[in-house]
Structure 1
């Protein structure tokens, strides 16, 4: 069963301890770099091969089914719904997951904890993944106006470097604001009730917040200011145990290609995607849902080798903020064997 936080009930007792100690752990180096792995990916998928994949807000499973990509998979794929990278990492640590779709920070979180969950694919958007929502009645015109404000802070999620980059661009440090540690699931309620002044929200939570609390003066940092922040970066990452299993590695290889096809389908079939996910799953009005899809911008699927420097920059921002015990090497977070698969879908 999955609770309201997106965390399977069997993992809840370990959650507090994990979040408390994760970035306090001594640095644990990977025994080898996935970037240097030379063995070719297997291609044969035996009958009966199964994958368990983490999802967030049911977006991935809806995409795969609505696009028809799910029905073309040779393996049996099941999905478990989560909200936030820390909960997904717990499931990986428990051996309950083979693959997950996450933001740019969970691979860093896993790396810092000594977990081998290399990135196998990526999707880059022309727009940001989050928006800086403001508590009802608060108005801020620039990132520099964040000074002195309380900001929701989700370590181990994509919201972490998003907030840190906002402070950096504004010439501020964490000492200039009050960072309030919260679960990703609690961000919307925290900003709605004024528990925090600012919270980084993604869709559909951001549009929902602005619509539901418009009469109370709900607002956000202006888009031109939000556009100063890094663009959306979504990763697929997989457990080393799954990648060491030839059958599962081949199934993951196939899934990566299918995920790229499905993502492209969503932009070529906007009405069908809006109806399948935002209307039926998220209960949004079609017009509001279309605005969300349009706000996502265009997708690209770069080879992983081209993202190492970008990931290193994220690592450095988190390290310089004092949230990592040691500067990590981004090269250890990628399995570059998947670049051939990605390149074959983009040429």
Structure 2
């Protein structure tokens, strides 16, 4: 796989994106959201429909396997995507109401003037990604990333994951070679040796290590990976959907169902492994259990408590030169459903 063509194309797209962002006014993502007041519980009208983005079919499998899907009064249509940028494009086209994403797409949307506020969040005791190393190469510490080629997915959670790894190692992007790739191309890039290092999530990470074990596939040691920020998943919604009373009520229900289903997966590991990793991803039960255990225990903190963490993330991306201006994290949150997550504790 050649990197020259895709890299040049991605650099062109990046410059175009930054130029476009500079021409757009940054708007408040959620008018009045800073008050932190929750909206009164409202009945979901008959016929209400939500279009929800999914990735690798994990969200729809989770809600159905847990039984939480049955608690929803609205009709849910799931649309499968790969990576935050593709989901953002669908929001721009008015094709989505709701999506779960990593910590970076809301920043990308904010910078572009898109109104897609964060309405709920899930944290974990483990990281979202693991630093896979190409077969034949060994990297024992983050500091040894110096001089290496690293897959770089701007606009995805992989972007700040890599930037934070470099920052912790006392390195800058000038000390490595960042190879711009789409999120879906990361597994192939590390398998083919196109890059030295790629941040992979599950099940791609475990599959890579298993499939290339005989060739010496490895990863940065877990102790080093644990130095990086832990997992943060956001549920964010279009401003248009939030302004629609019927859809806002349906979103409130969905937040509650997502919390319930996620807690179920932590308490019913074997059932969750069978439903998703065995039946959907065709993995062996033992491999699925290993993946679930590596994802850690979920918590659902209040959004207001996450504002400083999101600001820190914005600052890392801005200081790396990947944002046209420093953004205010407070503008990315709509706090009206914070009481829903609190009830799940």
Which range, TM-score by smaller chain? over 0.9
Q: What is the root-mean-square deviation in Å for CA atoms of aligned residues? A: 1.6
CA drift at 1:41: 5.1
Mapping of 1:177-326 within 5 angstroms?
177-326=176-325
Mapping of 1:128-147 within 5 angstroms?
128-147=127-146
Residue in structure 2 matching 1:22, options 17, 28, 46: 17
CA drift at 1:71: 1.4
Whether contact under 8 Å (1:121, 1:342) holds in the other structure is: yes
Whether contact under 8 Å (2:38, 2:335) holds in the other structure is: no
Runs ≥4 residues deviating over 2 A: 15-24, 31-42
> Residues 240 and 201 (structure 1 numbering): CA distance in 2 closer, same or farther, change over 3 Å?
same
Task: Structure 1 unaligned segments of length 5 or more: list them.
Answer: 1-14
Paired residues in the alignment total 332
Partners of 2:39 and 2:114 in 1: CA distance: 22
Whether contact under 8 Å (1:41, 1:250) holds in the other structure is: no
Provide, for residues 76-95 of structure 1, a one-character-per-residue CA deviation record: whole Å limited to 9, x for no partner.
Answer: 00101111100000000000
Mapping of 1:44-193 within 5 angstroms?
44-193=43-192
SS at match of 1:156: coil
Provide, for residues 230-278 of structure 1, a one-character-per-residue CA deviation record: whole Å limited to 9, x for no partner.
Answer: 0000000000000000000000000000100000001111111000000
Task: Structure 2 unaligned segments of length 5 or more: list them.
Answer: 1-9
Partners of 1:110 and 1:326 in 2: CA distance: 13
Partners of 2:35 and 2:123 in 1: CA distance: 23
Provide, for residues 162-216 of structure 1, a one-character-per-residue CA deviation record: whole Å limited to 9, x for no partner.
Answer: 0000000000000000000000000000011111100000000000000001011
CA drift at 1:18: 6.5
Whether contact under 8 Å (2:136, 2:217) holds in the other structure is: yes
Partners of 1:28 and 1:344 in 2: CA distance: 37
Whether contact under 8 Å (1:51, 1:98) holds in the other structure is: yes
Under a length normalisation based on structure 1, what TM-score does the superposition of the two structures give? Answer: 0.93
Whether contact under 8 Å (1:42, 1:247) holds in the other structure is: no
> Residues 342 and 18 (structure 1 numbering): CA distance in 2 closer, same or farther, change over 3 Å?
farther
Aligned counterpart, 1:6: none
Aligned counterpart, 2:5: none
SS at match of 1:200: strand
**Larger deviation, residues 20-29 vs 264-273:** 20-29
SS at match of 1:55: strand
Whether contact under 8 Å (1:161, 1:314) holds in the other structure is: yes
Under a length normalisation based on structure 2, what TM-score does the superposition of the two structures give? Answer: 0.93
